[in-house]
Amino acid sequence: MQTEDLVALTTPAALVEVDTMTANLDRMADYVKRHDLALRPHIKTHKIPALATEQLRRGAEGVTVATVREATLMADVCDDILVAYPPVGSARLDGIMTLPESVRLTVALDSATALDALSTRAATAGRIVGVLVEMDVGMGRVGLGDEGDIVELAARASDASGIEFRGVLFYPGHIRQRVSEQEQALAELGSLIEARIGALTDAGLAPETVSGGSTPAAFASHRIPGLTSIRPGTYIFNDRTTAQIGACGSRDCALTVLATVVSTAIGGQAVIDAGSKALGREPLRSTADGGGFGEVAGRPEVIVRAMSEEHGILDLTRSDWRPAVGDRVRIVPNHVCYVVNLHPQLYATREDRIVERWPVVARGWT
Ligand SMILES: Cc1ncc(COP(=O)(O)O)c(C=O)c1O
C-alpha cells in the first residue's frame, strides 16, 4: 500500500504507531521466554486477525477470546483458542461448537450448569473440548472462590464426556494499583494459587494449565508459583491507565485518537471532535475521579475534562498551550480496549504517514 499523509484523514480516527506496538509485542514475548511462561494474548484489545498473527509469530501458544465472533474470526489465523467467558446460552454454545475441528478449543467456566451443557454438545458433536475451571482471586466478577467448589467442579469436568479437564484460570483484575505498590497483593495471590493447586493435586486433579495474567501485573507473573500461561491483552497498545500505574511508560502508548480542534470560543478550554463516541466514557481507574477521559499525547497536563457524544472538552487551565481551531491533536485514551471496539478501523502509522488500515473485524458483543 502507498503511504498516505495523515493530514487528509477524517477525524476522529484511531491511530496505531506501528513501531511502538512492535516494541510492546517484543517486550512481552521476551519476558515470557525468559521466565518459561506460555503467552496466550487476549485479542479483545485489538480484535484484528493480522495482529493476532504478529503475536503468534513471536511465540504465543494460541489466543484468548471473549466472544463467539472473536473466536470465529481468530480461527482463520490460529488453531489453538481459549474462550475465557462462560459458555452459557445456546447462541454461545452453537457458535463455539461450529469452530473448525482443526481448532484445539478450551473453554473457561465456573458452574456445573455451563459444564453439563458444554459436555452434552461436545459429546453429540463427537468432539473433545478442553475445560479450565475459572477461579475468583479477588476481583469478584466470575470464578469460584471456594477451594472445595473448585475441586468439585474440576472432578466433574474430568468425568464429563466430551470434556478434557485442562486446569484452572483466573483474572487478577483487582490488581490495578501502581506497580511499585503491588507487592502485598502479589504475595497474597501467590499463596492463594499455590494452595488451590495443592488442593487439586491432592485430589488427583493436578492442573496441566494454570492460566492467569493481566497487563498491570504481567511482568510479575513469574512470581506466582505454578503459573504456566498468561493472557495479557492491553499490552499490545497500552493506554493512559497502564502508563499511570507504571506498567508501561507514556511513550509505550501505541494507540491514540486523532481529533480536530473545532472550537476555542470559551476561555480555558478547547473543544475537539472526539467525544464519548470516539473515546468511550471510561474513567481513569487509577484515580477516584477528576482524572478526565484521556490526555493529549505529549501534554499530560491537558486532559479531556468532559464530553458529549461528538465533543471532547480539553481543559487548558493547567497549560500555556493554546491550540487554534483546525489544529489536530492526538488523545491517549484511558482504556484502549473500549476505544478499539468503537472504531471501524485502526490506521497503522509511522510518524505522520498511514502505512496500513486494519478493519476491526471482531467488534461487537456477540
Ligand atoms: C478473562 C480476561 N483475561 C485476560 C484479560 C486481559 O487483561 P488486560 O487487558 O489487563 O491485559 C482480560 C481483560 O479484560 C480478561 O477479561
pLDDT-based confidence at 351, cuts 50/70/90? confident
Question: What is the value of pTM for the model shown?
Answer: 0.97
pLDDT score for 289: 57
pLDDT score for 4: 82
**Residue 332, strand partner residues:** 295
Instruction: Give the SS3 label for residue 335.
Output: coil
pLDDT score for 275: 98
Question: Residue 221: CB within 6 Å of ligand 1?
Answer: no
Average pLDDT over residues 246-271: 97
pLDDT score for 111: 98
In this structure, the residue with its CA closest to atom 16 of ligand 1 is 171
Question: Residue 40: CB within 6 Å of ligand 1?
Answer: no
Question: Residue 336: CB within 6 Å of ligand 1?
Answer: no
Residue 138 neighbours by CB under 8 Å, 6+ apart:
172, 174, 175, 185, 188, 189
pLDDT score for 189: 97
pLDDT above 80 (res 77): yes
> Ligand 1: distance of its center to the CA of 124 in Å?
31
Report residue 325 as a C-alpha cell.
481551531
Question: Residue 233: CB within 6 Å of ligand 1?
Answer: yes
Peptide bond into 12 cis (omega under 30): yes
> Ligand 1: distance of its center to the CA of 322 in Å?
38
Q: Answer yes or no: are the C-beta atoms of 153 and 163 closer than 8 Å.
A: no
Average pLDDT, the chain: 96
d(CA 157, CA 131): 7
Residue 174 buriedness (CB in 10 A; 0-12 / 13-18 / 19+): middle
d(CA 70, CA 361): 8
Site to probe by mutation for ligand 1, drawn from 110, 135, 214 as the one with most ligand atoms within 8 Å of Cβ, is 214
Give percent above pLDDT 70 in the chain. 98
Question: Residue 215: CB within 6 Å of ligand 1?
Answer: yes
d(CA 122, CA 129): 7
User: Cell numbers 478493519 label which residue?
Assistant: 359
pLDDT above 80 (res 59): yes
Instruction: Give the SS3 label for residue 301.
Output: strand
- List, for residues 39-52, the tens digit of each pLDDT value: 999 999 999 999 99
Average pLDDT over residues 133-153: 98
Instruction: Give the SS3 label for residue 237.
Output: coil
> Ligand 1: distance of its center to the CA of 247 in Å?
14
- List, for residues 315-325, the tens digit of each pLDDT value: 999 999 999 99
Average pLDDT over residues 303-318: 98
Average pLDDT over residues 321-348: 98
In this structure, the residue with its CA closest to atom 4 of ligand 1 is 231
Which atom of ligand 1 is least distant from the CA of 218?
11
Backbone angles phi, psi at 92, to 5 degrees: -65, -45
> Ligand 1: distance of its center to the CA of 337 in Å?
10
pLDDT score for 213: 86
User: Strand order of the sheet with strand 104-109?
Assistant: 38-39, 229-230, 209-212, 163-170, 129-135, 104-109, 80-83, 63-65
